[in-house]
Amino acid sequence: MRPSCVRTWISCLALLTAAGCTLAPRGTPPSSVLVPTDPRTLAYGRTNADLLANPEIGGKIRDLFGADWRPASVAGGSLALGAEAYFDQGGPTGVVRVGDADYIAVSGCAPRSCASRHVLLLIQPGGTRLLARLDEGGFVHYYGYGNDVRSAEQPIMDSALHALYRGGNPYPSGRS
């Protein structure tokens, strides 16, 4: 190749590389922010036990996890401990805005495993939509109330988690 062709190809490659860096990657999570605490945070209770006993939302949370609510050895789900154990410690965390929707954010963790086994539950005010992200010691599971979580909902959960991290540790400081 002639030197002028090589320079042209290198220039084109540099231009394409620079343009690629300025474009948002496909599937960019929606923006999220922790909203100042307000009465919505405690709409379903102060603790996870209150939340699960709440007649308006408790059953929906169990339905959200389905067979994974109980340990795999009991219910045939995919979680060794069952999602129920992840609500032993913790409670309402606050309100997080993801995109243009507000969610009550509830965190919890499994006893003696808070560092690696935790759950983040998002509840839209009114309890019409529930999303959950459960971290099972290196494996992440996503749940959506009433249906399987679509791939578009996973970025909502991840973005909410990042907003909570920016505001402080989103998980309870249980005894590990």
Q: Using CA atoms, how far apart are residues 133 and 131, in angstroms rounded to an integer?
A: 7
Residue whose C-alpha is closest to residue 87's, from 67, 60, 61: 61
Per-residue confidence at 5, pLDDT binned at 50, 70, 90? low
pLDDT in tens, 132-150: 999 988 889 999 885 555 6
Q: Is the pLDDT of residue 48 over 50?
A: yes
> Quick one: pLDDT at residue 123?
92
pLDDT in tens, 50-102: 999 999 999 999 999 999 999 888 877 788 889 999 998 887 778 999 998 89
Per-residue confidence at 126, pLDDT binned at 50, 70, 90? confident
Structure tokens belonging to residue 114: 């808070």
Amino acid at 156: I
> Quick one: pLDDT at residue 175?
36
Region at 156 (left for phi over 0; alpha for psi -120 to 50; beta for the rest): alpha
Q: Is the pLDDT of residue 111 over 70?
A: yes
Where in the chain are the domains?
29-166
Q: Other CB atoms closer than 10 Å to residue 50's CB: what's the count?
A: 15
Structure-model confidence comparison of residues 119 and 12, the more confident one? 119
> Quick one: pLDDT at residue 22?
37
Q: Which CATH number fits domain 29-166: 1.10.4100, 3.40.1350, 3.40.50, 3.40.1420?
A: 3.40.1420
> Quick one: pLDDT at residue 42?
86
pLDDT in tens, 9-41: 555 444 444 444 333 344 566 888 888 878 888
Q: Phi and psi (nearest 5°) for 113?
A: -140, 30
Q: Other CB atoms closer than 10 Å to residue 155's CB: what's the count?
A: 16
- Kindly state the DSSP code that residue 127 receives in the 8-state scheme: S
Structure tokens belonging to residue 96: 């997080």
Average pLDDT, the chain: 78
> Quick one: pLDDT at residue 173?
44
Q: Is the pLDDT of residue 170 over 70?
A: no
Q: Other CB atoms closer than 10 Å to residue 19's CB: what's the count?
A: 9
**Tokens 């929707």 map to which residue?**
101
> Quick one: pLDDT at residue 85?
93
